[in-house]
Amino acid sequence: MTTVAAPSPLPARRVPRVLAIAGALLIVVALVGTFARRSTSSRSASTAGLLAPPRADAGAGTRADAIARLQARLRVAPRDARSWAGLGSLYVEQARVTADPTWYPKADGAFARSLAIQPASNVDALIGRGMLANARHAFAAGLRWGEQARAANPTGAAAYGVVGDALVELGRYPEAFAAIQHMVDLRPNLASYARVAYARELQGDVAGAAVALDAAGRVAGNASDAAFAAFQLGELRWNAGDLAGASDAYTRAARLDPTFVPPAAALARLHAAQGDTAGAIGEYEAVIRRLPAPQYVTELGDLYQLTGHRDLAVQEAALLDAEERLFRANGVNIDLEISLYSADHRVHLGAGLRAARAEYARRQSVFVADALAWQLHVNGRDAEAIGHADEALRLGTRSALFHFHRAMIERSLGRADAARTDLDQALAINPHFSILHAPEAAGALAALRAG
């Protein structure tokens, strides 16, 4: 049995270990820059970015200032391996916060320089390489780099974060949770508590995840870190259908760090759920002017489509196409995101199914299983889809989207009672779980009850 606990000095009280793994197996936005990811939440879509180790800021000032300082140092000390590794980590962080993947090749080059100068025991560069690989969704490579870093420094917590992130995304949950447990035992900080929260949420332990995020907020070293913890708590509340709790957490995050964009986007989504569609559109437009992350572009396009602004929706779709090309050109694997967008919008279904199958061949996480099930459904292959829909829920994750997807497959297979149960569950978890699909779920449930 694999569990993830907090270490002994957890603030406020000892937290019980997370729920046991279901069967033999048991998670940001996507990270903000992830292309059109739809999953339990922007946090649990991926640990590759939002749950990365603490930022590699090189002192006071902005990230751009830190980058400039390291670049200046390397002009006079070009064989400083540690500075090259630090610069690479800053480039990865810059890609995350700007949704600009063109920073990734720069990071790759910086890490390569660091390792060329110091090939042995260069833990900083190994961890950076692992973070970069995870950010590009090359999780098998991220695991290899993380394991090398762990071997070089078995008592360093950050390497366990890279390893845990990669293992989660590969669907190797017992090993992932063991790595996360080791990380939090070594260093109970923001990064490790956030991973504990993610592991608990994946297993359906929403209350335990909230306690871990509260712990993350308590150990936050600055307002930006506190804003991150508050935002993640907001995402947890949103996924649980608690709009008031989500609103409070998002508002607190925005107040703590006005430069942090995700809370503003989350508030736009929340206002759309509350019926203020025009206000939400304006908020999304403002967010995208600040940070044109694919997730936000997708959600704005969906709102345009639902409100009859089809010309504007087409513009957002064109922007997404351009972003897709940019991500691929900079080494980011977006097969999962492409497959979900294709299935949600019923476009390029053949290509979408090929992308889902390719991703499932690489990794069998619950998110990939769900995406493959959904693609199979929209391609009319429900008999094959249902097994993957069951697989997506094998951990007990309280995902309204996963239950909705399975319900639609069950309905197509003529399993009305099962479909009704899953739709009830989806709407009980979060009746506003998707701009596109929440109304569809409510309508399908009403039809099943009437029929």
Region 42-49: mean pLDDT is 36
Q: How many other CB atoms are found less than 10 A from the CB of residue 80? A: 18
Confidence grade of residue 2 (pLDDT, cut at 50, 70, 90):
low
Residue 260 structure tokens: 């942090």
Q: Is the pLDDT of residue 384 over 50?
A: yes
CA 230 to chain centre: 16
Q: How many other CB atoms are found less than 10 A from the CB of residue 320? A: 21
Exposure string for 192-210, b = 16+ CB within 10 A, e = fewer: bbbbbbbbbbbbbbbebbb
Q: Is the pLDDT of residue 43 over 70?
A: no
Q: Is the pLDDT of residue 441 over 70?
A: yes
Residue 102 structure tokens: 């063109």
Confidence grade of residue 451 (pLDDT, cut at 50, 70, 90):
confident
Q: Is the pLDDT of residue 202 over 50?
A: yes
Q: With pLDDT > 90 as the criterion, what percentage of the chain qualifies?
A: 86
- DSSP, residue by residue, 377-433: HHTT-HHHHHHHHHHHTTT----HHHHHHHHHHHHHTT-HHHHHHHHHHHHHH-TTS
Q: How many Å apart are CA 254 and CA 263, to the nearest integer?
A: 6
Region 205-216: mean pLDDT is 98
**Considering only CA atoms, which of 385, 375, 427, 391 is closest in space to residue 410?**
385
pLDDT at 160: 98
Query: What's the pLDDT tens digit per position in 241-269?
Result: 999 999 999 999 999 999 999 999 999 99
pLDDT at 30: 32
Region 104-111: mean pLDDT is 98
Confidence grade of residue 4 (pLDDT, cut at 50, 70, 90):
confident
Q: Which has more confidence, 86 or 54?
A: 86
Confidence grade of residue 6 (pLDDT, cut at 50, 70, 90):
low
pLDDT at 62: 86
Q: How many Å apart are CA 167 and CA 99, to the nearest integer?
A: 24
Alpha-carbon distances, residue 113 vs 58, 64, 96, 125, 424 (angstroms):
18, 20, 22, 9, 55
Q: How many residues does the chain have?
A: 451
Domains and CATH numbers, the chain: 1-55+120-260 (1.25.40.10), 278-332 (no CATH), 334-451 (1.25.40.10)
Which residues are CB-neighbours of 379 under 8 A, at least 6 positions away?
349, 350, 353
CA 67 to chain centre: 25
Q: Is the pLDDT of residue 216 over 70?
A: yes
3-state secondary structure of 330: coil
Q: Which has more confidence, 154 or 60?
A: 154
- Output the average pLDDT for the chain: 89
Q: How many Å apart are CA 29 and CA 135, to the nearest integer?
A: 11
pLDDT at 16: 29
Q: How many Å apart are CA 317 and CA 303, to the nearest integer?
A: 12
- Of 35-44, 350-359, 416-425, 433-442, the range with the lowest mean pLDDT is 35-44
Q: Is the pLDDT of residue 405 over 70?
A: yes
Q: How many Å apart are CA 30 and CA 40, to the nearest integer?
A: 10
**Residue 334 near residue 328, CB atoms below 8 Å:** yes
**Residue 48 near residue 134, CB atoms below 8 Å:** yes
CA angle 195, 334, 304 (to 5 degrees): 95
Tokens 């492409």 belong to: 338
Residue 270 structure tokens: 């929340």
Q: Is the pLDDT of residue 25 over 70?
A: no
Q: How many Å apart are CA 206 and CA 123, to the nearest integer?
A: 34
Q: Is the pLDDT of residue 5 over 70?
A: no
HSE toward the beta carbon, residue 319, CA cutoff 13 A: 20
DSSP state of 10: -
Q: How many Å apart are CA 313 and CA 373, to the nearest integer?
A: 26
Region 283-300: mean pLDDT is 97
pLDDT at 271: 98
Q: Which has more confidence, 11 or 267?
A: 267
39: left (phi over 0), alpha (psi -120 to 50) or beta: beta
- Of 57-61, 265-269, 410-414, the range with the lowest mean pLDDT is 57-61
Q: With pLDDT > 70 as the criterion, what percentage of the chain qualifies?
A: 87
pLDDT at 53: 33
**Residue 191 near residue 53, CB atoms below 8 Å:** yes
